């Protein structure tokens, strides 16, 4: 049809990677085994995102609430993160993937903070895919921090409170300069955002799948993208107004 433009794939996909513990429990394995398989799923999905033409991929890797988990599990997760940063960065760099971390990285162990800084510096110029890992991240925490920054700038006389608008607020978020997610996926059958990208997901399309995260792969990401491309995104307007 003349003038018909095919739907575009999402530029930014964000994923709540849920179900590692249940995957392990169902197999009579320790939760750490589920997290290890979850890391393998993350590797598959990064490769799939590159193949599907996705430009930004955000993975909810460790929430601010996850610090409340048993210390042994937190230590296992930190160990897994440490190994991932040491073993995967060279491959990400080779494949043109830029890595960055959003969240309260000050709560991470010092050596992991250093590994993050090194990984970000090494991959900064890569443009094939921007992979963002949300670590020690909470959406409400992010919003409060942005408000605190604006208040401090206004109190110091560097910002007119009347000039504060959505764009000014967005520039103080962890994701400043990154497009909002077009598509948010959550695995494991749960249907909630769990304090993930609350501001940024205002008009995101949501896809929920019953599949547990360690079983999630390229076909599942492709299916979610295909569902997204069937959606009619109106951003609050009516169909006739477009």
The model's pLDDT over 55-104, given as tens digits with 9 standing for 90+, comes to 999 999 999 999 999 999 999 999 999 999 999 999 999 999 999 999 99
Please report the pLDDT score of residue 211 as a whole number. 97
pLDDT band per the 50, 70, 90 thresholds, residue 215:
very high
CB < 8 Å & 24+ apart, contacts of 230-236: 230/7, 231/205, 233/182, 233/203, 233/205, 235/203, 236/203
More confident residue, 2 or 238: 238
136: left (phi over 0), alpha (psi -120 to 50) or beta: left
Determine the pLDDT at residue 7. 73
pLDDT above 70 as % of the chain: 94
Which pTM value belongs to this model? 0.92
CB 219 within 8 A of CB 29: no
Say how many C-beta atoms besides its own lie within 10 A of residue 12's C-beta. Answer: 22
- Average confidence (pLDDT) over 227-236: 82
Q: pLDDT-based confidence at 242, cuts 50/70/90?
A: very low
- Residues of 100-130 as b/e, b for ≥16 C-beta within 10 angstroms? bbbbbeeebeeebeebbeebeeebeebeebb
Q: Name the CATH code of domain 12-138+180-230 (choices 3.40.50.300, 3.90.1150.10, 1.10.287.470, 3.40.1180.10).
A: 3.40.1180.10
Query: Quick check: 65 and 138 in contact, CB under 8 A?
Result: yes
Region 164-174: what's the mean pLDDT? 97
Give me the mean pLDDT over the 192-209 stretch.
97
Bridge partners of 100, per DSSP, are: 132
- The share of the chain scoring above pLDDT 90, in percent, equals 91
Average pLDDT over every residue of 206-227: 98
Q: Identify the band that residue 232 occupies on the pLDDT scale cut at 50, 70 and 90.
A: confident
Residues known to be catalytic? 18, 66
Q: Where are the domains of the chain?
A: 12-138+180-230
Q: How many CB atoms lie within 10 A of CB 156?
A: 8
Whether residue 178 has pLDDT greater than 60: yes
**pLDDT per residue over 106-152, tens digit each?**
999 999 999 999 999 999 999 999 999 999 999 999 999 999 999 99
pLDDT tier at 191 (50, 70, 90 boundaries)?
very high
């Amino acid at each position: 049809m003349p003038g018909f433009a095919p739907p575009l794939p999402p530029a930014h996909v964000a994923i709540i990677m849920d179900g590692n513990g249940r995957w392990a429990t169902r197999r009579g394995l320790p939760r750490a085994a589920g997290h290890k398989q979850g890391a393998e799923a993350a590797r598959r999905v990064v490769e799939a995102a590159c193949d599907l033409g996705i430009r930004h991929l955000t993975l909810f890797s460790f929430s601010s609430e996850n610090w409340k988990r048993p210390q042994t599990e937190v230590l296992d997760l930190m160990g897994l993160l440490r190994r991932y940063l040491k073993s995967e960065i060279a491959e990400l760099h080779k494949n043109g993937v830029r890595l960055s971390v959003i969240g309260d990285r000050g709560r991470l162990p010092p050596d992991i903070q250093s590994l993050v800084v090194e990984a970000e510096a090494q991959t900064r110029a890569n443009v094939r895919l921007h992979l963002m890992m949300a670590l020690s991240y909470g959406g409400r925490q992010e919003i409060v921090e942005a408000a605190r920054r604006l208040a401090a700038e206004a109190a110091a006389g560097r910002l007119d409170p009347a000039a504060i608008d959505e764009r000014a607020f967005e520039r103080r978020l962890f994701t400043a300069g990154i497009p909002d997610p077009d598509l948010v996926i959550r695995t494991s059958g749960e249907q909630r955002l769990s304090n993930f990208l609350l501001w940024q997901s205002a008009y995101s399309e949501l896809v929920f799948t019953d599949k547990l995260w360690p079983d999630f792969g390229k076909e599942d990401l492709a299916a979610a993208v295909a569902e997204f491309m069937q959606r009619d995104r109106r951003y609050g307007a009516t169909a006739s107004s477009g």
